[in-house]
Structure formats: C-alpha cells, structure tokens
Amino acid sequence: MNTYAPVSALSTAREISSKRLTPQAALDHCRKRVLKHEGSVKAFEELAEKWVANSGPLAGIAIGVKDIFDTFDIATTYGSSLYADHQPSIDSTLVTMLRNCGATIAGKTVTTEFAWFSPGKTCNPHNLQHTPGGSSSGSAAGVAAGFFPAAIGTQTGGSIIRPAAFCGVSGYKPSFRLFPTLGLKHFSWSLDTIGFFAARAEDNAFIAATCSNRDLMINEADNSAPRIGVYRSQIDDLMSGDMAEAVDHTVKRAEQNGATVVEVIGNDIVEAARAAHAIIQGFEAVLALADERRRSAQKLSEKLTEYLDECSQITPDQYDDARRTANHARKASRQLFEECDILLLPSAPGSAPETLASTGDSVFNRMWTLLGMPCVNVVSGFNHKNMPLGIQVIAPFGKDKKALQAAHWLENISHR
C-alpha cells in the first residue's frame, strides 16, 4: 500500500491567509488522513485528543512532535518503556515557539529508543514493508502520509536526513544550536540537533523562519543556479547502484539548468570527524543516560545496554581528543567551499531497506552532524521499486538559508 500524500505547509498557510481555507478545515483535512491511514503507517506514539485551530502565522498547521521533546499536555516516552507514563510539566522550547505562532500540536510521533537505534513501530508510507528510517521515524512518515504538513525531530547521527530521504520528504537539519534543544531528552549534547520535516524545502524554510523569527524564507525571486560541489570520499563505495545513478542524474540535470559543478574530494582533516563522532556520541550517551543506567538498567534494551557498557570504557582523554579532532575538521571544512556554494552527496546509501528491524545506516550523515553544518534532503527521484532516493545539500556552518535555497532550486528543476 502506498499512502504517500504530503501536504504543503506554505500553501496551506497562504490559502488560510487569503481566506480560501479556515484553519480548522486545514486541520480537519489532515486529521482525516490520520484516521484513515494511521492503522497502517503507525506514525503516532500518541495522537492529540483534539486538533483545535489557534491564531497566528502557523494557524491551521498541524505539527508532529517527535516523542523525544517534552510536551506539557501529552505524555512523553522518549521511545522507552521506562518512560511509558512520563508526563513532563512543561513544553520543550521549540514546541512553545511553535505554539506561540498558532501551530497545533498533532501529537507525539514515534522515535527509536532514546532517539538511538532500536526501531519503533512506524512503517514507510511508500511501502509498509520498508523502514521509514530513524530515529525521527514517525515525524518523517507522518509528513509523507499527509498526517501533518510539518514535523520536528532531532539528528544525532542521521535521524533527520535519512528518514526524510527514505520517506520522500524535505528534511532540514539546521546548523548546530541554531534552534534551542531545551526540553529535549539528550543522547549526546554535542551532536543532538533539532530539525524539521515538511513537503518541500520552501515549507521547511517557512516553518523554521516563522517560529524563530530568522531570515530563512526562500527568496522566490532568486532563480540563480548554485555552484555545486559533488562531495567524493572513501565511503562512496557504500552507495547502491540506484543511488549512484540518482546522484549522476541530479548533477546532469543541474548542469543542464545552468549550475556549475565541480568535484570536491574529502580531505583527511575533515574526514577524521567520522571516527570522532562515535567517540563523542558514546562518551556523552553514558553520561546522558547515567541515571537510567544506575537505577533502571533492566528497562533499557539489550542493544542499548551493551552499547553503553562498551562506551563506558571511553576515557575523558579520548573524548577530549575527539573534540579537538572535530574542531580542526570544522575549521578545515571551510576549504571544501572554495569553488562551490553547496555540497551535494547521498542522504543515505540507497533507498529505505525492506525491513522494520533496522532504521538503516547513517554513514553519510554522522560526519556532517558533528561538523554542525546545515543539511537539507532533496527528493531526487524514485527507484524501480518506486521507493524515493534522497540527496542532501550541505552548506557551510551558519549558511542555512543558502542550503534551503539550493534545495529549493534543485526541487524546482526536477519538475522541468
């Protein structure tokens, strides 16, 4: 069954602002999709009892909230049985920012256990036998299925970009700390990054710009082609054949539409961040889950327990070394943009694997998360199984608007 039917947040807001649609009707439209297809997609950890329209620039926009963000009015499980009945007393900051703009919280969406690897129940709306990716599984799948026009999630390894790619929607992982993580259950505070899911880049830009009051909106008058750097590194042989074709095809189409394209070869200093990621994440996860490990170890999954036991061997010196490696890589990453505005590379090794026992591999994401650079997934096409293939646009740290604008340009030329 294919339940793919994303709804544009920007178009919805425009229809509402021009009075062609009421906020409540917009919510009701999405809610009908939920009632029809949630039984098969399973995007929600908990669906909000009612969706009531508010006022503000995001009135009528239902937003799926990954169940790793605290909400004062809906239980928050962090994907763990340990927190099955956990009711936070306040909202996480990002949720309040969205409510302050009139958004309606659709409910809590399924996350893997503590936003790490052990999968939840969610299925891929393109094909229910395939993983939606993780850890922001329900947020990505829910946007793809048209349950809500937008959703929020987090990326510590590849948890925004990968599920967006697998589900065929736009995923935007902002520059590190551009959006506050307060009220988030942390797994690794040097990596955990808040991000957004929506139909297209312009929708993500709209939501992110509106709730933060930042200059992130797509400039629709700007049709200029970006200077693209196709990023090549040692891990490229992990790409599937259809992914390699999708990259080539996207590059060719971009060139035909006026983009200049160069190859950018990953240098050793930047690439060293890949190994540093594992050390930083592991060391911090042991501390982030210190109380759970001390008092409730039996309620953690076996996989997580083993991981934490192993990571507890990482010394402060190894951690500090990894942080230094990351800092050097952040500085060296500027060189990658000497001849291009943005980098282009796969969002994942291929399309969503045909399994619900794993959320796929974040190998093409982890390094960029540690470097803190903005990443946007662009739906680049569909393979022979009709599963989406995602390519990510990456801009220098702090150049989020450039990443979103380039993603928008790539989306536009794919329709020509």
Answer yes or no whether residue 48 interacts with a second copy by CB under 8 A.
Answer: no
Take residue 64 and report the two structure tokens written for it.
């799926």
Stretch that binds a second copy, among 58-66, 94-102, 197-205, 217-225 (CB under 8 A): 94-102
Per the annotation, the verdict on 159 as an active-site residue is yes
| Per-residue binder mask for a second copy (CB under 8 A), 148-187, x = binder | --------------------------------xxxx--x-
Query: Of 92, 139, 159, 347, which one is the catalytic site residue?
Result: 159
Per the annotation, the verdict on 89 as an active-site residue is no
* Max CA pair span of the chain: 60
Answer yes or no whether residue 62 interacts with a second copy by CB under 8 A.
Answer: no
Answer yes or no whether residue 67 interacts with a second copy by CB under 8 A.
Answer: no
R_g (Cα) of the chain, nearest Å: 20
Of the pair 327, 386, the CB lying nearest a second copy is at 327
Answer yes or no whether residue 212 interacts with a second copy by CB under 8 A.
Answer: yes
Minimum distance of a second copy from residue 88's CB (angstroms): 9
| Per-residue binder mask for a second copy (CB under 8 A), 324-363, x = binder | ----------------------------------------
Asked if residues 347 and 161 have their Cβ atoms less than 8 Å apart, the reply is yes
Instruction: By CB under 8 A, name the one of 8, 54, 100, 318 that touches a second copy.
Output: 100
Instruction: By CB under 8 A, name the one of 11, 93, 257, 301 that touches a second copy.
Output: 93
Instruction: By CB under 8 A, name the one of 29, 86, 253, 328 that touches a second copy.
Output: 86
Of the pair 219, 315, the CB lying nearest a second copy is at 315
Q: Which residue has tokens 């590194």?
A: 233
Instruction: By CB under 8 A, name the one of 129, 223, 313, 315 that touches a second copy.
Output: 315
Q: Which residue has tokens 């669906």?
A: 47
C-alpha span between 356 and 244 (Å, rounded)? 24
Single-letter residue type at 82: L
C-alpha span between 180 and 339 (Å, rounded)? 32
C-alpha span between 374 and 195 (Å, rounded)? 10
Instruction: By CB under 8 A, name the one of 2, 40, 290, 310 that touches a second copy.
Output: 290
Q: What is the DSSP letter of 7?
A: -
Answer yes or no whether residue 295 interacts with a second copy by CB under 8 A.
Answer: yes
Minimum distance of a second copy from residue 190's CB (angstroms): 8
Query: Of 80, 92, 118, 135, which one is the catalytic site residue?
Result: 135
Asked if residues 67 and 87 have their Cβ atoms less than 8 Å apart, the reply is no
Answer yes or no whether residue 294 interacts with a second copy by CB under 8 A.
Answer: yes
Q: Which residue has tokens 């999630």?
A: 153
- Across 155-177, b (16+ Cβ under 10 Å) vs e yields bbbbbbbbbbbbbbbbbbbbbbe
Of the pair 145, 373, the CB lying nearest a second copy is at 373
Please report the DSSP string for 156-221 in residue order: SSSTTHHHHHHHTSEEEEPSTTSS--TTB--S-TTT-EEEEEESSHHHHHHHHHHHHT-S----TT
Q: Which residues are catalytic?
A: 66, 135, 159
Q: Which residues of this chain interact with a second copy, rule CB under 8 A?
A: 72, 83, 86, 89-91, 93, 96-97, 99-100, 180-183, 186, 189, 212-215, 284, 287-288, 290-292, 294-295, 315-316
